[in-house]
Amino acid sequence: MKRNDSIYQLAVAGVQQLVPYKPGKPIEELERELGLKRVVKLASNENPLGPSKKAMAAIQAELPQLSLYPDGSGYRLKNALARKFDVDPAQITLGNGSNEILELVARAFLTPELEVLFSQHAFAVYPIVTQAVGATAVVVPALNFGHDLAAMLHKVNEKTRLVFIANPNNPTGTLLAQADLQRFIEALPETCICVLDEAYFEFVADRGQDDSIAWLRKYPNLIITRTFSKAYGLAGLRVGYSFSSPEMADILNRVRQPFNNNTLALVAAEAALEDTEHLQNTLQVNTLGMQQLTEGFKNLGLKWIPSAGNFVSVDLSEPGQPIYEALLRKGIIVRPVANYEMPNHLRVSIGTAEENQLFLQALTDCLNNV
């Protein structure tokens, strides 16, 4: 088909220059390309244990209702979240993954005259939603691969409407101290909204990270986003949520699409939230897997960024793309992060003990053959 470049000129300016988000390579694609029978995917920070049995049972029970629209308000899931985290249901916004909530925030609060602040090496969706609405992105150089809060605060001005902070950060896994983070939010002007992205908060060993919810009473310009895609193993169903003031949630719900969460996603998330045993098993597998991978990196003489998430970025001291491609040929999918200005790193999700060992052996072979 003939390429019609004039179509691109019809798009709004920010979208014309956008580069689409590139997800991790699917297992089926690699099997098809290389004719592999066994593929290990450690690229997208998914739960290696899969969804909980309670979530699967809830999905099965709900299948006869698929001819009906889902509950557009997400009443049952919102109330389950409210009970668990001691918030008012009116403070909750549900999203098609937490990614959608990031987009809702951008659509609701940004204009081309305003600025958005985030760190170098931060989640790729932040610049995408910023550029899509024509706002100006201000990227602050990282400090030891993490957020430099002092430098970020220095960049805040009267045009700064949003600040994105991921804690733990993806893809580096760095973690900010709660006291430092609260001081930063305290110092923001009321006209600047802080989006605290806690997609990986369940994996943080210090459970004091939950304290961020208490800040909502003091800071009406705070939004906390979380997801069921990681620790709860429901990435394929796309369920995210945010906590904020009721007024902030009301604004987000004005731009949220009706029925943005499907029926199966809603019941699975509600059941998963109650399955504390599955969550504890997930955290145990993650802790042991992190030790397994980092010990393997140490034995290979490689450095890594200490991570509070369910992934770790390893420094190969050489361009990571060739090693990534060599691993693919061995049936191992990890994540190159050159697009995050980390060309020598690969991000590796924590898998099962067997998957981690297969990766380490393949990495050893690839490094020896380069």
DSSP 42-63: -SS---TT-S-HHHHHHHHHHG
262 with 300, same domain? no
pLDDT at 37: 74
* Claim: this prediction has a pTM higher than 0.85: yes
SS3 25: coil
pLDDT at 145: 97
118: Cβ contacts below 8 Å, ≥ 6 apart = 126, 127, 137, 138, 139, 140, 163, 164, 165
Domain assignment present for residue 7? The answer is: no
* CATH code, domain carrying 166: 3.40.640.10
Among positive and negative, which fits the CA dihedral 337, 352, 200, 103? positive
* CATH code, domain carrying 328: 3.90.1150.10
338 with 198, same domain? no
Half-sphere exposure of 52 (CA within 13 A, CB side): 24
210 with 103, same domain? yes
Boundary-marking domain end, from 275, 302, 326: 275
Domain housing 320: 12-41+277-369
Domain assignment present for residue 168? The answer is: yes
88 with 237, same domain? yes
Boundary-marking domain end, from 211, 243, 275: 275
239 phi/psi in degrees, rounded to 5: -130, 115
266 with 333, same domain? no
230 with 281, same domain? no
pLDDT at 160: 98
Beta bridge pairs of residue 160: 115
Domain assignment present for residue 246? The answer is: yes
pLDDT at 207: 59
171 with 318, same domain? no
Domain assignment present for residue 19? The answer is: yes
Number of structural domains found in the chain: 2
pLDDT at 15: 74
Domain assignment present for residue 47? The answer is: no
pLDDT at 9: 72
185 with 72, same domain? yes
Domain assignment present for residue 334? The answer is: yes
126 with 251, same domain? yes
pLDDT at 14: 66
197 with 106, same domain? yes
Tell me if 162 sits within 8 A of 108, measured CB to CB.
no
pLDDT tens per residue across span 38-87: 889 999 999 999 999 999 999 999 999 999 999 999 999 999 999 999 99
Closest of 63, 90, 95 to residue 79, by C-alpha: 90
Task: Return the structure tokens found at 245.
Answer: 């003031």
Specify the DSSP class assigned to residue 310: S
Low-confidence ranges of the chain (pLDDT < 70): 1-5, 7-8, 10-11, 14, 16-25, 30-31, 207-210, 370
Domain assignment present for residue 46? The answer is: no
Domain assignment present for residue 2? The answer is: no
264 with 143, same domain? yes
253 with 288, same domain? no
Boundary-marking domain end, from 225, 242, 275: 275
